Structure formats: structure tokens, C-alpha cells
Chain A
Amino acid sequence: MPLDEDKYPGETGRRRFVKGVVGSAALASVGTGGAAAVNTATSVGGGGGGPTQYVAIENTDGPAPRGMPIVPVEVTSSGELRGVFPEATTEEVGGVEVVVAETDMGGITYSSTWFQYCGVEQYEGAQPDADADNLLRASAGEPYAWQADIDAGTPLTVDMFENYEEWGNGIGEDGLGKPAGARWRSEAEGAKTMPVQVLRTPELPKMINGEQGFRDYGTLPQGIRSFLDAATDQKFMAWLNKCTHFCCVPGYKQLEGSANFGGSNGVYCQCHQSIYDPFSPVQKQFIARPRPTD
């Protein structure tokens, strides 16, 4: 005897039919509603992402998957620091017009897709055709004591870095260079801030020439060295200061705790203890995220 034989009301063909119709309707509405909810809660896939070769400061320890991309720097005639952003051009790919910002930098293709990770691809400043301010401006929050008397937003100038050869703040070795926290292409109304770390270091000429310095730069490949030659100016280098792991903003010689993880001379992320070495630029590949298109 089946367990539900004496159920009331008894099973009838009509009842089974109604239950089937109601059940399938409920399932269908759950499916449709779920799809609609996912559709409204997520943004549409954009364009301009994909596999990207870039030059990074190497990730040497911790859970981060790769290094942070280097931002090419140049010094203007008035002594201000400017991050180079490739010129945007419109190309036709497969019958569709796309805006591409890329340029040749010492034999390596420098592209705006280098910065398309961690949500930066949605920032106004990271759009290839954005008319943004390329000057590197002092960031808010005084990451270094010497930046205390520099207002946030002031363009960084060469004369602020006069003592770069002996600068130190008690973390790691002195004389490796003088850092500054900066922002880049973020001056537009309502634009999100792209954090950039600037470093003026006496190691740069040795890296470019492949000499023995703080590290043995003879192992740097020729392509990297010529990229560095083109992407740095007056011993200034810079990188986008977004940890590739979970998008925190780490710091070069900012936290005492970095010594416990072998990062006192490098960039240390306080979230999950990733370490990056600015004196070891490497070429890496990653999948750039697509920019939002509207």
C-alpha cells in the first residue's frame, strides 16, 4: 500500500494535471526571475580587454598572481612629473570601429589595457579616449612624512626629490630612492582615483645598463632594459599602485611590518602580505578586463 493512498483529496487525473501546470509555471517564473535579477545586478560585458603583455614590478611573495604594471614617466620642461598615456586612435577591427590606445615604448607595446584590472577599467582615467590630466599629483593621506607639507593634488616636481640618493625612513636600506604617493588621470569631476607610486631611484641607470647594483641587473633581459630606458626619465619610475590580488593599495617602504615578510625594500601589501620588487621589472601576461561600453 503506497504511503499516500488515504490522502485527502484523492489523486485524480485533473488534480495531477493542475499540479503539473502550476509546478512548471513556478519553475519557469523562478528561472525567468533569476535571469532578470542577474541581468540587472551585473553590468554588461564591455570591450577592449583580453590577453595583454605588460611590464610589471615583479611579485616575489604572497598570494598575488602577478606584478603591478609600470607607468612610463617623463619630466616636463617645467620640471613636473607626467605619466605617459598612449594616444588613442580609432581602428577598424572586423568591420567594427574600436578605440585603441597603444604605442611603442622601447620595443614593447605600451597599451591602456595594462591598467584594466581590479575595476580600474571602469575608471574614467583608464578609458583610452579620456581627456585626462597626465600630471602625477601628490596623493591625499600623506603616505610619507616628507609629503606632509605638500597639499593633495599638487603636481610632483623634480626638486621635491633632490635628496633621493640618501633618502630613508627607517624601513629597509637607505639610499634606494625616494618614493612618493601620487594620483594620475583622476582630476575630472567624480572620477575615481588611480593610485600611482612614484620612485626616484639611483638604481635605474644600473638597471638600464645591466650592471651590479642593489641587485644584479645583468640578468634583466634586453627588452626590459630598453623599455626602462624609454619609460623612465631622470631616474623616475612609477607603477600603478593596485595590488593584483584583491585590489588593495600597497606601499613602498610604508609599513614597518614589511620586514617580517622580506619586503622592507620592496612594495608590501598589508592585506595578504604580497611583496613586489620594483628593482626587478619583468614582462608578464594577463587577461585584461573589458571596459564598460554604453
Chain B
Amino acid sequence: MTEDTTDADTDEDVRTDGSGPGIVPPDDETPTWGERKTRREGLARLTYEYFERARSEDQELRQESSYVERDVLAFPTWPHEMIRNLALVSFFVGMIIFLSAALPPHIGPPADSSSTPAVILPDWYLYWSFGLLKLGPLNPDISLLGGQKLMADRTYGVLANLVVVGFVAIVPFLNKGSARRPVEQPFWGAVGMSGVVFAFTVAVLSVKNLVPMDSHLLFDLTFLLPVVSACLTYAVLRSMREGYMFNLNRRYYRLRPPK
């Protein structure tokens, strides 16, 4: 390299950062788009056609589209956004005032700790957690402790909540959720379905005293149905791949729309 730099007529050679003469044609030698258009052959013509086709297809799409393009990035906060927000705010405040005026106040008698109503349940969206409190039969008798349980059934039920929440928290680390349709990942589809079914069955288990069904059978179904649904889901998704011609179109299904 030292010999090159000492060369008489090329004292400025190609540099490692890409600058310098030699690679990029000088401005006066680079063909303009007009020159590329007039040429009939060569790389310049090819690149012209390539970009021109992309541009014209884009133009056609824009003309077909019903979307009206505007040269507006956003509206100013004042007054445009403020007026709209005021309308929304007054609507919701009005709804609150209307409801508070129209609905009768519900303040029941004070809670009586010396009697318990015959049907006593939490709100429906907490049934799953309420059902986890009734997992006593799963709490193992440890023979090392002389047939005693390691923890009380109530502690066990509370810890079961942590297991469920922990599983839900771990799933995103095991699977990023990049599948656009369940056939792409039948296994994870099956895991999801079993979770949905378990959320339902454990909610039913929580109201087992109101379900006209043998409570032991219900307990078994609570854990069997999610497994059954997982197997079913897996089988159905795998056979649906046939219809999608999944193996043939795998690359297409993996395609993602551009950002």
C-alpha cells in the first residue's frame, strides 16, 4: 500500500471507509434519470425500468384507493383538539351525572358477621381464583411427614394462584407470538386453548356447590377437559395444515407485511 500512496498520479486512492475516487463515478459521469431512460440497454436501463415499474404500480394503487391524501400531519391542539376533547369529556361527565341521578343508591345493611348467606360467591371474574382455593385434594400427603400435609389446604390454594400467574408470565418468554395464524404453531395453539378451557373449568369448579353434578366428577373434569381440548386443538390444527397446503406455502405464510 505504501507503494500506491507514493504513486505519482494517484496520490488519493480508495480508502477503507469508502470515500475517495475509484468506486463512485464522479458527478459528471453518473447517468441522470433522463440519460438512463434514453439508454436502451445495460444496467442503467434495467434500474430505470425496475424503479419505474415500482413507481407506476404504486401510483395505480393510490389512484384506485378511496383514501384521500392530505398534506396535513396533525391538527393544532387549540382549538381543534381541545374542542373535540371538550365534547368527549362533557359527554362522559354527563353520563356519570345521569347515571348517578337515575340509578337508585345501593347501600345495603351493614355486614352481619353472625350469619352467612346461603349462596356466597365473589364477583364472576374472580371465580378462577376462587376455584383455585378448592384444590385441597391435590395437596399431597407427604409420607416423610407421617402422612401430614406440607401446608394447609388454604395456603396451598393461595400458592396455586402464584403458579397460574407465573405460567402466564413465562409463556411470552417461551413463545414470542410471531405466528399470524394458529396452523403455523399448532402446539402453542393447543397450549392456549387448554389455558382458556382451564380458566373456564376452574371457574365452574369454584361454584361446585351450585353445579348439579357430582363434585368429584367435576373436580376430575376440571383438569381433564383442558388436556382433552389441547389434544383436540392440536389434532385439528395439524389436519388443517393440509387444507392450507402448509408445507408448500410455508414461505408465504412466514411472510410478514412490511412495516
Contacts and interface: CB of A to CB of B under 8 A. Distances in A.
Genuine A/B complex: yes
Interface of A: 62-63, 65, 119, 139-141, 183, 186, 192-195, 245-250, 254-255, 257, 260-261, 269-273
Contact of A139 (B114, B136, B153, B215): B114
Contact of A192 (B113, B157, B209): B113
Given A63-B153, A63-B154, A192 B134 contact: no
Given A260-B214, A273-B208, A195 B115 contact: yes
B165 interface: no
Interface of B: 112-120, 133-134, 136, 152-154, 157, 208-210, 214-215
Given A260-B215, A272-B134, A140 B115 contact: yes
Contacts of A257: 209-210
12 contacts: A65-B153, A139-B115, A141-B115, A250-B116, A257-B210, A260-B214, A260-B215, A261-B209, A270-B209, A272-B134, A273-B208, A273-B215
B114 A193 contact: yes
Contact residues of B: prevailing secondary structure: loop
Contacts of A139: 114-115
A260 B210 CA distance: 10
Contacts of B210: 257
A120 to B, nearest CB: 9
Contacts of A119: 113
B212 to A, nearest CB: 9
A139 B115 CA distance: 9
Nearest to A262: B215
A61 to B, nearest CB: 9
A131 to B, nearest CB: 21
Contacts of B133: 63, 272
Contacts of A65: 152-154
Q: Which of B113, B136, B210 has the most CB of A within 10 A?
A: B113
B120 A270 contact: yes
Contacts of B115: 139-141, 195, 249
B151 to A, nearest CB: 11
Given A257-B209, A270-B116, 12 more contacts: A62-B153, A63-B136, A63-B152, A65-B153, A141-B115, A192-B114, A193-B114, A245-B154, A249-B114, A260-B214, A261-B215, A273-B215
Nearest to B154: A63
Nearest to B213: A260
A65 B154 CA distance: 8
